[in-house]
């Protein structure tokens, strides 16, 4: 737990007992293996990494607004799932953890984007979003499918794989 406190407080050191407070270098009694293990554990706990050939990409759910929608969604090189949501919407809050799961499930093959309908009305009107949450799949700048209402984990996976068969998992 002490290791997490050091990380969350913005310190580069994992733990003041394990690292020198002035240089953040490992104390002499720790092996290089245990220091590396602590670093890898911290990295695994707080980021989601997906390997592509010759690169490391950090994937996450992207929050967009009306000004960046075209760039992030319509001009994307990979398929995009857009979650139209609002802060006051209860079912939208149930979908949020599933969006994080989708990022980890589909890696760099599907971009997941959220847009707040109260703050960004332009695309709500353009795509005739009437109920929340609404999940819309885009591919090559075109609307592929639209689903209104909260879906469970299995439902959202079936929805994606039905409309984007190239993303089917084994």
Instruction: Please give the positions annotated as active site.
Output: 89, 92
Which residues, including other chains, have CB under 8 Å from residue 95's CB and lie 6 or more apart? 83, 85, 133, 135, 150, 151, 156
Q: How many residues does the chain have?
A: 170
DSSP of 37-53, one letter per residue? HHHHHHHHHH--EEEET
Q: By C-alpha distance, which of 89, 91, 84 is closest to 125?
A: 84
DSSP result, 125-145: HHTT--SSSEEEEEETTEEEE
């Amino acid at each position: 737990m002490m290791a997490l406190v050091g990380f969350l407080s913005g310190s580069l050191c994992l733990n003041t007992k394990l690292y020198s407070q002035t240089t953040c270098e490992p104390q002499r009694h720790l092996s290089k293996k245990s220091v590396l293990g602590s670093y890898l554990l911290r990295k695994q706990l707080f980021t989601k990494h997906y390997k592509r050939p010759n690169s490391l990409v950090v994937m996450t759910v992207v929050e967009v607004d009306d000004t960046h929608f075209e760039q992030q969604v319509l001009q994307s090189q990979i398929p995009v799932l857009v979650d139209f949501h609002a802060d006051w919407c209860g079912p939208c809050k149930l979908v949020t953890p599933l969006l994080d799961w989708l990022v980890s499930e589909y890696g760099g093959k599907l971009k997941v984007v959220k847009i707040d309908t109260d703050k960004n009305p332009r695309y709500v009107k353009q795509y005739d979003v009437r109920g929340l949450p609404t999940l819309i799949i885009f591919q090559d700048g075109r609307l592929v499918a639209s689903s209104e209402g909260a879906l469970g984990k299995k439902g959202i996976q079936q929805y994606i794989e039905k409309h984007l068969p190239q993303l089917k998992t084994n």
